[in-house]
Copies of this chain bind each other. A is one copy, B any other.
Amino acid sequence: MIGRFQPFHKGHLQLSKQILRECNELIIAIGSAQFNYIYKDPFTAGERVLMIHAALLESGLDLAKCYIIPIANDENNARWLGQLKSMVPHFDVLYSGNEFVKVLAQQQPIRVKKPFFSKKDDYNGTNIRRHMAAAASVISSTKPRRKSQNWKRLVPNAVSRLIEEIDGVNRIKILLKSDSNPQRW
């Protein structure tokens, strides 16, 4: 499976489980690996590896059957599948609901399988980052804590714990502000 995993959420975890039911091994390719500290891509590839590893472990999946691999983007889309194949172990099936991936893969001996995502509007990186940006700061806020921590129920516990350890909510707030700042430098 492929994703940016900014962050890894419960929809991703469900898909991981589905794949391990249907295949012998699971490769999780972390796209846009070179991006970080951007509102759309707040976490480094290394932080994302850590979150995914911890979430799989927490949910009892067998890490001996999993590969978690960061992949830098390739601006030449037609070459991207070659880039992907050179960076991960051999695979036969690619899980993606994206028609675009299907089109790129169609000239290769790769089967593209559409995953089933439940609660797509909730379990969705854009939505989760928005919740995080809106999260009331623990200290200054007077809003009820429940609401301000909405994002936590959308990601595995292991992920929310790691995001707190690296003060990720605060990072996202700062990035939201400075990305739209014309004087970033």
Contact = CB atoms under 8 A, between A and B. Distances in A.
Interface of A: 2-4, 31-38, 44-47, 49-50, 53, 57, 63-64, 66-70, 72, 74-83, 85-90, 98-100, 103-104, 107, 109, 124-126, 171, 174-175, 177-178, 181-185
Nearest to A100: B178
How many copies the complex holds: the figure is 6
Nearest to A3: B185
Given A79-B82, A174-B100, A89 B4 contact: no
A64 B63 CA distance: 5
A177 to B, nearest CB: 7
Contacts of A82: 76, 78-83
Nearest to A107: B109
A183 B125 contact: yes
